[in-house]
Chain A
């Protein structure tokens, strides 16, 4: 982990948003710095995606504000992309669109595309049809596309949805490595309460408002977090952050022995 820069790349102050009379995001303040991974967790309907949309400028808050560092380049990985099967778009062409927001001058050359794909472990996908990519392949292609834009700040919305457990750990490792290489700040949304990645600097537990935030260890011990997710889930989060040699079955139990042999 690289030490985090002090200034916020992006800062939310007292963000609130209500929809149809229901408060979805309630006075949330948040700061993501360069070289830092912040993970948003919370139950369904906790406002994680809405908060990310506010930070990305996709929705306007009812109150509060978002401040971005000047010239901030944002990369965004949506959870899934549904390309109409009638659209003959291949990964090569999709990557070529990475600079579409910056005018016609921003053509991306094939060697750069190939390098970006290789970097995310998707070297063979250059001529694959975008509509036919699996969930994990799509996340890697989206990651490559984001990297081609040289982002300062990356938002990932549940990047491991539709990825199996082994692939999940791999994807988290990849993201952590890229974060260091590109010196980005990362905001990650996770529905995944069992496997919040070890490289996370801070976990923000959201349930409309910020329940608690801190290191994964601190959050997992926080009474509000335990009240929200239950003690069993809290335990599995706590020991994952301490031991990385085992995997978890879908119910959260440990399926491979770990060297410490704890229960």
Chain B
């Protein structure tokens, strides 16, 4: 078999982790610039409902996560357009409402054992070939769509009304961006789990901020920091037998702290 090297679980874990990191970095830049970290957290909470729905309906958890996250994204845009409640309030309702519902649905399914811990903290070492295929494909599609949306998305990030006055379909672009985040969260769930997904979106862009001369450079740098975090975290987990998902996030956090030191010196 020509791709026998994929039989190694570590190689599969590394490739899947890199794919997620490379997609999450550039998308995460917009999460940071648009101050949507809490939105990412809300979607990742909702992802557990997706898992429950997937199990209940007998479809892949990944598909359940994707549909649920997209549902929450659309619901959020709809509720924001009503303009009655602040976004953080809406997100709080959506995040915890869906998380609670997910836990209730899981509880109702008698005789079905779900590895809750695996979903909460990820199970990167258990990535199989099918997971790898859809994570890799998903990352490619997400990056392609992001490249297509790049300039309109930057423009609405700078000033939504300005973008709209100039003919950019702001609502469509916003919705598409939210769906992209939903897709990345569905992919990252296997890697770092519900509780740590936002770290992959937010920490790499924050770490490259002092060094990036342009949005494009920030996107590339964030992908790089994410990739180094995945490789470093997996390596650490191999050497010291630490949990892989949290190790990845710890490495990313360490890189962020380093960037604070280096960035501070750079300014001074």
Residues in A lying within 8 Å of B, measured CB to CB: 53, 56-58, 74-76, 78, 81, 83-84, 86-90, 93-94, 96-97, 100-102, 104, 130, 149, 155
Contacts and interface: CB of A to CB of B under 8 A. Distances in A.
Nearest to A74: B165
Contact of A130 (B158, B162, B212, B217): B158
A121 to B, nearest CB: 21
18 contacts: A57-B165, A58-B161, A58-B165, A76-B161, A76-B165, A78-B159, A87-B33, A88-B214, A88-B215, A89-B154, A93-B154, A93-B214, A97-B155, A100-B152, A100-B155, A100-B166, A149-B166, A155-B165
Contacts of A130: 158
Interface string B132-174: 0000000000000000000110110111011111111000000
B168 A89 contact: no
A151 to B, nearest CB: 9
A83 B168 CA distance: 18
B32 interface: yes
B39 to A, nearest CB: 15
Nearest to B213: A88
Nearest to B212: A88
B161 to A, nearest CB: 5
Contacts of A76: 161-162, 165-166
A153 to B, nearest CB: 10
B2 to A, nearest CB: 37
Contacts of A74: 165-166
B206 interface: yes
Contact of A57 (B35, B154, B164, B212): B164
B33 A86 contact: yes
Nearest to A97: B155
A138 to B, nearest CB: 11
A96 B165 CA distance: 17
Interface in B168-202: 168
Nearest to B33: A87
A89 B157 CA distance: 11
B61 interface: no
A101 B214 contact: no
B146 to A, nearest CB: 13
B226 interface: no
Contacts of A84: 32-35, 157
Given A83-B158, A86-B33, A104 B165 contact: no
A89 B158 contact: yes
Contacts of B64: none
B167 A101 contact: yes
Contacts of B212: 88
Contacts of A88: 209, 212-215, 217-218
User: 10 nearest interchain CB pairs?
Assistant: A100-B151, A76-B165, A101-B167, A87-B33, A88-B212, A100-B155, A101-B166, A56-B165, A101-B168, A97-B155
A254 B168 CA distance: 45
B26 interface: no
Contacts of B161: 53, 56, 58, 76, 78
Nearest to A56: B165
Contacts of B158: 81, 83, 87, 89, 94, 97, 130
A217 B154 CA distance: 44
B166 A89 contact: no
A188 to B, nearest CB: 15
Nearest to A87: B33
A57 to B, nearest CB: 7
Contacts of B214: 88-90, 93
Contacts of B246: none
B205 interface: yes
B24 to A, nearest CB: 16
Contacts of B205: 86
Contacts of B213: 88, 90
